Amino acid sequence: MHPLPPARQGQVIGLLGGSFDPAHPGHVHITKTALTRFGIDHIWWLVSPGNPLKDTGPAPLDTRLDAARHIMQHPKVTVTDLETHLGTRYTAQTLRKLQARYRGVRFIWLMGADNMVQFHHWQDWRWIVENVAIGVIARPNERIAARLSMAAHCYRGARLRGRSAVLLARRPAPAWCFINAPMMPHSSTEIRARGDW
């Protein structure tokens, strides 16, 4: 089996999942923002084999991994293809397996505000909210929609204010926090449309 990234008991690991098709400076920006704002020790990028919510497949995994590792170079960030080696397709499946393998490690699921808007379409999304803290980072044109999303409404009592974001790492789930950050307009969809990928 492919070696899994190391993590010690008591550490806080942020997880940023996606197809990264391709990875771009916006991904780097939200990763660095999450490191500083949420009290995270390390972040793992989970470059997925494919996105169950998208009709068309992404570029080959090796291509996306190489590009992600090229653009995301930081001592506290590891780019992985964990879901391929865990044999999982959905976020909830991945989180269950990681929690079972890394006893005593605290995971925080990270996502851009654009994902918060349609989070209620994810498989077992309520299980995710109730078992893993969630850090949401503002994305262009999605701040209000994210705050008005079904997930935000259903779990409004579990929300930490942005000024308390550093506490997210120690809060038991359900707990989520929306933070504003300087906007970067990069989009994988736009990059593909321009033919830069």
Q: What is the CATH number of the domain that holds 135?
A: 3.40.50.620
Q: Is residue 56 one of the residues assigned to a domain?
A: yes
- CA 119 to mean position of chain CA atoms: 12
Stretch 150-158: mean pLDDT, rounded?
96
Total of domains in the chain? 1
Q: Is 4 among the domain residues?
A: no
Q: Taking Cα atoms as reference points, which of 2, 139, 128 lies closest to residue 65? A: 2
Cα–Cα distance between 59 and 162 in angstroms, integer?
35
- Quickly state the pLDDT bin for 190 (edges 50, 70, 90): low
Q: Which pLDDT band holds residue 180 (cuts at 50, 70, 90)? A: confident
Pairwise CA distance, residues 135 & 29, whole Å? 14
Instruction: Count other Cβ atoms within 10 Å, centred on residue 74.
Output: 13
- 128 found inside a domain: yes
Provide the token pair at 26: 């916006």
pLDDT of residue 31: 94
Tokens of 85: 């080696």
The pTM of the full predicted model, rounded to 2 decimals, is 0.88
Neighbours of 10 (CB within 10 A): 9
Mean pLDDT score, 162-171? 94
Structure tokens at 120: 């209620």
Does residue 72 carry a pLDDT above 80?
yes
Q: Which domain holds residue 36?
A: 12-194
Q: From its phi and psi, is residue 75 left (phi > 0), alpha (psi between -120 and 50) or beta? A: alpha
Q: Establish if 105 belongs to a structural domain.
A: yes
What whole-number distance in Å separates Cα of residue 33 and Cα of residue 174?
A: 22
Considering the domain boundaries, does residue 2 fall inside one?
no
What is the mean predicted confidence (pLDDT) over 14-19? 95
User: Is 191 or 63 the better-scoring residue by pLDDT?
Assistant: 63
Cis peptide bond upstream of 75, omega within 30: no
Q: pLDDT band at 176, cuts 50/70/90? A: very high
Instruction: Tell which wins on pLDDT, 188 or 12.
Output: 12
- According to the model, what pLDDT value does residue 119 have? 96
Q: Is 43 within a domain?
A: yes
Token pair for 121: 């379409």
Mean pLDDT over residues 147-167, rounded? 94
Looking at residue 13, its pLDDT comes to 98
The answer to whether the beta carbons of residues 108 and 132 sit under 8 Å apart is yes
pLDDT at 55: 61
Answer whether residue 115 is part of any domain.
Answer: yes
Rg (CA), the chain: 16
Q: What pLDDT sits at residue 50?
A: 73
Residue 137 in domain: yes
> What does the mean pLDDT of the chain come to?
88
